[in-house]
Structure 1
Amino acid sequence: MTALHWAGLLALAVIAGAVVPFQSAINANLGRGLGHPLWATLASLLVSIIVLLPVIIALRLPLPSLEFVSKAPLWMWAGGAFGVCFISLALMLLPKLGASGFIALAMAGQILASLLLDHFGLFGLVERQLTTPRVLGALLLMGGVALIQFSATPARALATTG
């Protein structure tokens, strides 16, 4: 793989991460408007289907194998449940923790879970041992998460005290 290809992949990963706080903030507002975060979760997933189906059709993707669908282990279908969990928790927590606080804490959970997934090579991933540098990197990221979450002073509090 060329350096340019790697740079493109890294940029796409950053973009994937960058859309999450926008999605969460927009859906939190939608949840308030609809009366409950779970309605916004449902709306978000329905919009996902509405956006995705034309892309699948435009790309002329073949239908999935019914044989695979009928034989796939149950854990392979859990991604949708994890998506509902993330979207719903984001809708409930983002207004309370702020965008940076929620995303930092969510990232902390992602880092910890990712280290375990890699270390044990779960779900077909390549095993990547839990080494001292990887643990140190995770601890440094966790320190950053703590700084982001616990050093924030709400703007309204500043306005009333200053």
Structure 2
Amino acid sequence: MTVLHWVGLLALAAFAGAVVPFQSAINANLGRGLGHPLWATLASLLVSIIVLLPVIVALRLPLPNMAFISKAPLWMWAGGAFGVCFISLALMLLPKLGASGFIALAMAGQILASLLLDHFGLFGLVERQLTTSRALGALLLISGVALIQFSGAQPQGD
């Protein structure tokens, strides 16, 4: 992989992370407007389908492998449930914790879960042992999360 390709992948990963607080803040407002956060979760997922289907058609992707669908273990379908969980919790918690607080705490959870997934090679991932340096890196990131969340800036109103 070339350096340019690697930098492009890093930029895309950073962009994927950057859209999360925007999605959460917009959905929190949508939830208030619709009367409950779960309505906003449903709306968000419906918009996702509406946006994704034309892309699938434009790319002329073949239909999914129906034989695989019938044989896939149940855990493979949990991603959608985790998505609902994240979206719903984001739009309930973001107004209370603030965008930086929610994202920082969500990131701490992502770091810890990612270390476990990597260490044990769960769900088909390549095993990446939890070394001292990886644990120290996670600790530094989580320390940064704590500084963001508990640095004295108190919410106004509420």
Q: Which amino acid aligns with 1:33?
A: G
- State the shift of 1:79 in Å: 0.2
| Partner secondary structure for residue 151 of structure 1 | coil
How far apart are the structure 1 equivalents of 2:99 and 2:154? 12
How high is the TM-score relative to the length of structure 2?
Answer: 0.97
Moved >6 Å (runs of 4+): none
- Structure 2 partner of 1:115: 115
- 1:143 matched to 2:143? The reply is yes
Matching residue of 2:26: 26
The superposition leaves residues 57-107 of structure 1 with CA deviations (integer Å, 9 ceiling, x where unpaired) of 000000001100000000000000000000000000000000000000000
Q: Where does residue 74 of structure 1 map in the other structure?
A: 74
Cα RMSD after superposing both structures: 1.0
Q: For 1:28-58, what per-residue CA distance to the aligned partner results, in whole angstroms no more than 9, with x for missing partners?
A: 0000000000000000000000000000000
Shift of 1:156: 3.6
How far apart in 2 are the matches of 1:40 and 1:17? 20
Alignment pair present for 1:105 and 2:100 = no
Partner SS state of residue 28, structure 2: helix
SS of residue paired to 2:126 = coil
1:154 Cα deviation after fit: 3.5
- Count of residues in Structure 1 that have an aligned counterpart in Structure 2: 157
Bigger drift between 146-155 and 87-96 goes to: 146-155
Identity of aligned residues (%): 88
Offset at residue 153 of structure 1 (A): 1.6
Structure 2 counterpart of 1:120, which letter? Answer: F
Aligned residue in 1 for 2:13:
13
The 5-angstrom pairing of residues 81-100 of structure 1 reads 81-100=81-100
Distance, in Å, in 1 between the alignment partners of 2:29 and 2:44 is 12
Question: Unpaired segments of 5 or more residues in structure 2?
Answer: none
Counterpart residue identity of residue 130, structure 1 = L
